[in-house]
Chain A
Amino acid sequence: MAIIKVNNLSKTFRVKLKEKGLKGSFKSIFKPKYKVIKAVKNINFEVEKGEMIAFIGPNGAGKSTTIKMLTGILYPDKGDISVLDIDPKKERKKLAYNIGTVFGQKEQLWTHLTPYDNFKFFGAIYDIPDSRVEKKINKLTELFELGEFINTPVRNLSLGQRIRCEIVASLIHEPKILFLDEPTIGLDPVVKENIRTLIKRMNKEYKTTIFLTSHDVGDIEKLCKRVIIINNGQVVLDDSMENLKYHYLNKKIVEAKMKEKVNLDDEEGITILKDKGYNLKIEVDTKKRSVADALKLLNPDNIVDINISNMPLEEIISNIYKNEAEK
């Protein structure tokens, strides 16, 4: 059963333009000029109950605008949204009781208060009786391993600890859907991994539907079974994670600084992206050759420095575009 339904959703923004210099500034007072930006263009999708869905795209693609329309923050210009059979435009408050939101770039906690006091606050604003809030805090403290710092003011917490508290704060009222907008932004890899594990655990324990936006391919790979990719305000792909992995995430980028030059021409599954002096950048197609194999070809004794990364999201999207065009 679909609990999020989006039909022909569109949103435009009017942005004021200003010519450069003092003259331009004066001109914009008397003759302001505006540019219309189509942030979201006729998008359609549905999300099933209990799903963990990744909603991804490059900067300015329309991800956050869509999330903000789904959560009732922004009004759409056109189209219909139904979240848990509620129209976010008409029944913001009713929707607020049923959803949770975490915006990685926006603090919702009171920084001078402890996480415990913050959770009590969130319990009160969602009209939850005190006894139930206490039980919920205890349960979530255990699940998200907050015991050590639950009585430390939020301003003294590390970013990773704070994000964990942000997620817990958004779960106090037991939302049916949790919207996570870049929850791992700015975190180091270890903390990222920890947050992902906790989100997974939460989804398993409470069957909460997760709607996640992220720039981090790792978040998506580890958490979601379905991916919607949005670019220039349009949905460019709505597919299972398995298919996306098979088609696009099977390529790893290996950047290495070598002691001696290596010739990898004609090696199957390896595409040379850059070969300048002793610096080498290759793309390994893991369907044809494992990363370990590729490293053997480079000869580990010959490597001074190495970096292995996923294909950047932007590249994945441009590949999707290319494939669509070829079709």
Chain B
Amino acid sequence: MRKYLFIFKSELMSNLQYVFDILVGFFGYFIMLFILFNLWQYMYSDPNELINGYTMSQMTWYVIITEILWMSLGGRKLCRKICNDVRGGNIAYNINKPYSYIGYSLFSHLGAIALKALIYTILGMIMGYFFLGGFPTLNIFSIVAVLITGILATVISILLITFIGLFSFIIEDANPFYWLYSKFILVLGTIFPIEYFPTFLQPILTYSPIYVVSYGPAKLFVDFSFNNFISVFVAQIIYVFIGYILCTLIYKKGVKNLNVNGG
């Protein structure tokens, strides 16, 4: 495990150069939230009114959390990097190192986005506080629980995107698959909670990655319950396991047929 923590640390240290870029990037996040906040204000005639079980404040906090998870993830960059690594042969130079490529990809990307996630979380919380005049009711346990599910959500997203990226072993370019995945998460999992969708779609979404990568942690933040935490946590552990197995299988198969430029 020490080696993976070092991979995380090294990537984090490398990314300390980009604090200014992260702050500039936050501007886009701010604009998006500002628009959504105004939209919800317009939709809710009374802030205490419930739409599909959510107050206006809960809806806004929901979007703040899902957008933090999504925008700090840097999924497109990760997918592009893995595709390029596979197509350009760079992946070969990781093969003869004493670590698992999947573990390397996971911890190096976690290190790459850790600072961004921290900055987005702090600034997102400040923004939410000023927009809405306070935080949802949380205690130490629920804060820790939300943090754990938030980190696991990021881990699952990275594993799923790594899996998509590794499809480059089979097809020429896996980026279009990432595009589809990102739109799926963005439309069905970021802007609206699962309860907003038609009844027939809800069970499907509950079993889909949306439940573990965005809905779960955000729902816990706006309306915490221990039972909910357990079901999100268990689902996330299952997804981590599935994601890791999928990545390992495609990687092992791909590496056997690897061709490397210049040799």
Given contacts A13-B259, A63-B263, A64-B262, are A125 and B14 in contact (CB under 8 A)? Answer: no
- Chain B residue with the shortest CB-CB distance to A173: B98
Interface contact B263-A39, CB-CB below 8 Å: yes
Q: B99 contacts the other chain (Cβ, under 8 Å)?
A: yes
Residues 1 to 60 of chain B near chain A (Cβ within 8 Å): 2-3, 5-7, 10-11, 13-15, 17
Q: B188 contacts the other chain (Cβ, under 8 Å)?
A: no
| Chain A residues whose C-beta falls within 8 Å of the C-beta of B242 in the assembled complex | none
| Chain A residues whose C-beta falls within 8 Å of the C-beta of B3 in the assembled complex | 124-127
Interface contact A110-B14, CB-CB below 8 Å: yes
Interface contact A65-B96, CB-CB below 8 Å: no
Interface contact A73-B97, CB-CB below 8 Å: no
Q: A75 contacts the other chain (Cβ, under 8 Å)?
A: yes
Interface contact A125-B92, CB-CB below 8 Å: no
| Chain A residues whose C-beta falls within 8 Å of the C-beta of B93 in the assembled complex | 73, 103, 106, 108
| Chain B residues whose C-beta falls within 8 Å of the C-beta of A124 in the assembled complex | 2-3, 5-6
- Report which residue of B6, B15, B98, B263 has the largest number of chain A beta carbons within 10 angstroms of its beta carbon: B263
Interface contact A112-B258, CB-CB below 8 Å: no
What is the CA–CA distance of A281 and B91 in the complex, to the nearest angstrom? 45
Q: A113 contacts the other chain (Cβ, under 8 Å)?
A: yes
Q: Interface stretch among A1-9, A90-98, A264-272?
A: A90-98
| Chain A residues whose C-beta falls within 8 Å of the C-beta of B5 in the assembled complex | 124
Q: A141 contacts the other chain (Cβ, under 8 Å)?
A: no
Interface contact B6-A121, CB-CB below 8 Å: yes
| Chain B residues whose C-beta falls within 8 Å of the C-beta of A14 in the assembled complex | 259
Q: Chain B, 211-254, contact with A by CB distance < 8 Å: what is the 0/1 string?
A: 00000000000000000000000000000000000000000000
Given contacts A112-B13, A125-B3, are A72 and B263 in contact (CB under 8 A)? Answer: no
| Chain A residues whose C-beta falls within 8 Å of the C-beta of B11 in the assembled complex | 110
- Report which residue of A92, A97, A112, A117 has the largest number of chain B beta carbons within 10 angstroms of its beta carbon: A112
Q: A254 contacts the other chain (Cβ, under 8 Å)?
A: no
Q: Chain A, 124-150, contact with B by CB distance < 8 Å: what is the 0/1 string?
A: 111100000000000000000000000
Place the interface of chain A in its size category: 35 or more
Residues 79 to 117 of chain B near chain A (Cβ within 8 Å): 90, 92-93, 95-99
What is the CA–CA distance of A113 and B9 in the complex, to the nearest angstrom? 11
Q: A67 contacts the other chain (Cβ, under 8 Å)?
A: yes
| Chain B residues whose C-beta falls within 8 Å of the C-beta of A13 in the assembled complex | 259
Q: A225 contacts the other chain (Cβ, under 8 Å)?
A: no
What is the CA–CA distance of A263 and B114 in the complex, to the nearest angstrom? 74
Q: A71 contacts the other chain (Cβ, under 8 Å)?
A: yes
Total contacting residues, chain B, CB less than 8 A: 26
Interface contact B96-A95, CB-CB below 8 Å: yes
- Report which residue of A64, A73, A75 has the largest number of chain B beta carbons within 10 angstroms of its beta carbon: A73
| Chain A residues whose C-beta falls within 8 Å of the C-beta of B15 in the assembled complex | 112
| Chain B residues whose C-beta falls within 8 Å of the C-beta of A62 in the assembled complex | 263
Shortest Cβ distance from A83 into chain B, in angstroms? 11
Interface contact B96-A125, CB-CB below 8 Å: no
Residues 132 to 156 of chain B near chain A (Cβ within 8 Å): none
Q: A105 contacts the other chain (Cβ, under 8 Å)?
A: yes
Q: A184 contacts the other chain (Cβ, under 8 Å)?
A: no
Shortest Cβ distance from A34 into chain B, in angstroms? 11
Q: A74 contacts the other chain (Cβ, under 8 Å)?
A: yes
Shortest Cβ distance from A285 into chain B, in angstroms? 35
Residue B96 contacts which of A64, A75, A101, A127 (CB distance < 8 angstroms)? Answer: A101
Q: B260 contacts the other chain (Cβ, under 8 Å)?
A: yes
- Chain A residue with the shortest CB-CB distance to B100: A93
Given contacts A73-B92, A124-B3, A125-B97, are A117 and B10 in contact (CB under 8 A)? Answer: yes
- Chain A residue with the shortest CB-CB distance to B6: A124
Q: A68 contacts the other chain (Cβ, under 8 Å)?
A: yes
- Chain A residue with the shortest CB-CB distance to B5: A124
What is the CA–CA distance of A63 and B17 in the complex, to the nearest angstrom? 38
Interface contact B95-A127, CB-CB below 8 Å: no
What is the CA–CA distance of A194 and B13 in the complex, to the nearest angstrom? 31
| Chain B residues whose C-beta falls within 8 Å of the C-beta of A67 in the assembled complex | 263
Q: Chain A, 40-72, contact with B by CB distance < 8 Å: what is the 0/1 string?
A: 000000000000000000000011110110011
Given contacts A112-B17, A124-B3, are A73 and B96 in contact (CB under 8 A)? Answer: yes
Interface contact A113-B13, CB-CB below 8 Å: yes
Interface contact B98-A126, CB-CB below 8 Å: yes
Shortest Cβ distance from B40 into chain A, in angstroms? 41
What is the CA–CA distance of A203 and B90 in the complex, to the nearest angstrom? 29
A-B contact pairs, 22 of them (CB 8 A): A65-B263, A73-B95, A73-B258, A73-B260, A74-B260, A96-B96, A96-B97, A103-B93, A106-B90, A106-B93, A111-B14, A112-B14, A113-B10, A117-B10, A120-B6, A121-B6, A121-B10, A124-B6, A125-B6, A126-B3, A127-B2, A127-B98
**Which residues on B are within 8 Å of A, measured CB to CB?**
2-3, 5-7, 10-11, 13-15, 17, 90, 92-93, 95-99, 255-256, 258-260, 262-263
4 interchain residue pairs of minimum CB distance:
A64-B263, A124-B6, A112-B14, A96-B98
**Which residues on A are within 8 Å of B, measured CB to CB?**
13-15, 39, 62-65, 67-68, 71-75, 92-93, 95-97, 99, 101, 103, 105-106, 108, 110-113, 117-118, 120-121, 124-127
Besides A14-B259, A105-B262, 7 other A-B contacts (C-beta < 8 A) = A95-B96, A96-B96, A96-B97, A117-B10, A124-B5, A125-B7, A125-B97
